[in-house]
Amino acid sequence: MSGDSADDDLPSSAPTSTLFRFSPRPHRATLVDWQPWGQAAFQTAEQLDKPIFLVITSSWCQWCHILDETTLSEPSIITILNRDYVPIRVDSDLRPDVNQRYNQNGWPSVLLLTPEGEILWGGVYVPPKQMLYYLGHIRRYYSEHRYEISEQVRELQDRRFTQKLTQALPSTGLRTLLAEERVALTDLPLQAGVVLRELYDEEYGGFRIHPHLKFPHPEALELLLMLAHHYHQPDAFERVSYSLEQMLDGGLWDKEDGGFYRYSASSDWSMPHTEKMLEENAALLRLLLLTAQTSQSSKWYDYARRLLAYVNATLWQPEVGVFSGSQSADEEYYEPGPYSRVSRQLPPVDTTIYTSWNARMIAAYLLGGQILQTPSLNAMAIRALDWLCEHMVHRGGSMCHYMLNNHSELPGQLADQVWMTRALLDAYDLYGRKAYLEMSIALMHFACEELLDVQSGLFYDYPENSQAEGRLALREQPLIENALAAESLLRMSVYSGRKSLKDTALLVLSGCLEKYRRTGIQGAAYACVVAQAIEKKWL
């Protein structure tokens, strides 16, 4: 390969901003003049009239490491990027808002943008030869068609400005829930179950969504559990248990070290991509625990304990009292055979602390403490929860998204507020500590003040920012986080007796209906919240 990136004398690190995380193996990617996502980079691009080279990576992603070691270590590519482009590097875990708007359906995502942040070209991992072609072609196209591109960008920005004005129009307040909306919500869990049955993979369990990828979709399986329990559909439970058996036996479960891999590149689970994420393992731990509770089978209790053993050994930080974010993929380490693991180091763990992911695992540990009757799980969960309350709260009243190098950053993201609120309410249910309820109320107060659109009855994913760059100028209203916000408001209304909280929650659930119909299997988490609301007579 022309980049010759495997040479022993290549640096594996360089004095670069801590926001940039590279492959742990030798590479030259640090020689690119990377800038973080922000106003300064976009202003530089506009002043120099250069397109932007954006790469979205992640510390756990093996192909992101390969991109650093190959394409981004090619000397001619480094020269072109530094001369003809403004290179921006984004870590998707640290900046989920950027990732949500620019990810090209995989990692690493590589994009060429206008100085205003509009996409000229985008794809996933690109080898050096193809990258040289794209860089040259887009640079020429940009130079030759600058006027037409500027006109198209201006039209896009005008449409966005009009949409933002519409979002900001004054409103008389939240309306009441319509009778037909209440009926639609009541019918929704059963309708969602019909959709899941159509998507279900009878041969290998799980769901057929993508022809070449198989994700576990634990929220969809949890909805089937709820249908089995509350709607007396025993075949729904059989689908859950069979799916878990296929994942565990087929390859999604690490039989030696424990823990679930993120997804498989084959329908029979036999080709896993071997990163292990705190978020996904939290969701699957919850599913295992609920499956054990429903079936009373020792097998599911045992697997729940084995998953807990992996998390405790690998992702728990005992000296701090919180959970790490992920363990990197490493296909060679996990390759079958007697010597693959013996001869290699454990894949590295990202010790960055993410609020929403920690909160999900905290809630799962609290559930595990009850179902497994293991008080030590509760103690670990409470320790982590208290740490988040002490170290991750921004002065503006919201949770920060992450802590890296002892600095907490990115406050106000809806996902962090709602997952933290759910964990706080779970802890309050167990221990009755007023501080947890008060903290949860404060977080939802922030969300209602800074993120709620009273016209649609839905929450935005982050606060208004008139200086937002590129596609971040237009906020989104994500379905899952809105459903969780509604769930929290409903629970708070029970604790406080305040009807206004329930009214707001029901309108949020109603506002999610149209999004749910367009979302597919990702809407299962929303259907779970609705099913719970029906069971507890909150509707």
Mean pLDDT of 195-223: 96
Interval 279-310: pLDDT, tens? 999 999 999 999 999 999 999 999 999 999 99
Tally of residues, the chain: 539
Whether 459 has a pLDDT exceeding 70, the answer reads yes
Which of these ranges, 6-20, 71-85, 431-445, has the smallest mean pLDDT? 6-20
Q: How confident is the model at residue 12 (pLDDT cuts 50, 70, 90)?
A: very low
CA distance 67 to 27: 9
Strand segments, DSSP code E, in 170-285 are 263-264, 272-273, 276-277
- 130 and 112 Cβ atoms separated by less than 8 Å: no
Interval 445-458: pLDDT, tens? 999 999 999 888 89
List beta partners, residue 450.
none
Q: Domains of the chain (ranges plus CATH)?
A: 29-163 (3.40.30.10), 180-535 (1.50.10.10)
CA distance 464 to 474: 9
At 135 the pLDDT is: 97
At 13 the pLDDT is: 37
Percent of the chain with pLDDT over 70: 92
Q: How confident is the model at residue 172 (pLDDT cuts 50, 70, 90)?
A: very low
List beta partners, residue 399.
393
List beta partners, residue 54.
88, 111
HSE-CB of 185 using CA atoms within 13 angstroms: 27
CA distance 201 to 215: 12
Highest mean pLDDT among 333-347, 404-418, 511-525: 404-418
Burial of 432 (0-12, 13-18, 19+ CB in 10 A): exposed
DSSP characters over 254-274: -TTT--B-SEESSTTS-SEE-
At 11 the pLDDT is: 40
Interval 481-516: pLDDT, tens? 999 999 999 999 999 888 889 989 998 999 999 899
Whether 5 has a pLDDT exceeding 60, the answer reads no
At 43 the pLDDT is: 97
Residues with Cβ within 8 Å of 317's Cβ and at least 6 positions away in sequence, in order, are: 323, 324, 351
Interval 386-398: pLDDT, tens? 999 999 999 999 9
CA distance 64 to 62: 5
- Which of 92, 142, 105 lies closest to 120 in space, CA to CA? 142
Residues with Cβ within 8 Å of 59's Cβ and at least 6 positions away in sequence, in order, are: 21, 91, 93, 325, 326, 328, 348, 350, 352
CA distance 57 to 20: 9
More confident residue, 383 or 182: 383
More confident residue, 175 or 371: 371
Residue 349 parent element (H or E): strand 349-350
Burial of 176 (0-12, 13-18, 19+ CB in 10 A): exposed
Mean pLDDT of 434-442: 96
Interval 103-122: pLDDT, tens? 999 999 999 999 999 999 99
DSSP state of 520: G
At 234 the pLDDT is: 93
CA distance 463 to 265: 36
